[in-house]
Structure 1
């Protein structure tokens, strides 16, 4: 986290240079996930030359040049999702062709102007571990929105207090767990095991 006067190219570069002091980026690949902010697009290749930079699927979807009132909107969104999650270049191209087939060539042109290696599974070379959207950041923003009008130092203190309160609550909740995993993930694991019991190993 950084407190800066503006979200511009210079401040993003300054932030990443400081971040590079704490990340062992020479020994392991790092994937950045962002909403295509210009400062990160410029600074990541300079400061983290071996890193991967993924664009947030959610932000890309919201910025598609088609109105929600257009009767083809739902089909375009579904097909864009197919392009994003395609596992092969052929699947990606099929999805783009389907958007053109809907009579939305301008949307397909817009999508093709965004480097697919930054957002489509078929071309992305880094590891995203199933994360394709920066919605965690949006959750954080909405969580602290109530405090945004505070002076900078008071805002940071409030964020720190809120985080400490949340961590304390989660620690106390965690003390009641009697399984290795959280109850939610324990239930998922049990469901997968129950399903797997019926499989034949060949």
Structure 2
């Protein structure tokens, strides 16, 4: 909400917004979108222009700008320092690559994979390390890994019961049930192809 309302008229910034959950229809949950400092103020050091991107593309020998590119571009303190560029009204971001890279960096900082000085947090280092283990380096895999790390951070990608569970038999032990939950949650993040084998 903070991202949406910040550039809009003051009316929207002070507008009361509530959320009503289906399981609590009588309770209103107020969404606090008037955060100080604002998201725009927090992220105002991301203004990397085409020249900086071109240098990084050559260094990485990369043609595509994605999450992996952005994490590699801030891998060391020296590299991260090159990306600290406060907004300059005389030099605004215009190209598709400039917009994409800066938006991805802002997202990574908002989700605490990067610090305010653009260096990696522990989560950012883990993300970069995990990206190097991918057999297929595609944007969809980056997004799936991003989702997995977010779920791990909030304690949801595990074998614990999050709600009432139903089992049709007592064949599985408690430990096996936990494994089943973890595997099913992990598989829900990635597209899976299963081979059907028919034994005659």
| TM-score, normalisation: structure 2 | 0.26
| TM-score, normalisation: structure 1 | 0.26
User: Larger relative CO (CA 8 A, sep 6+): 1 or 2?
Assistant: 1
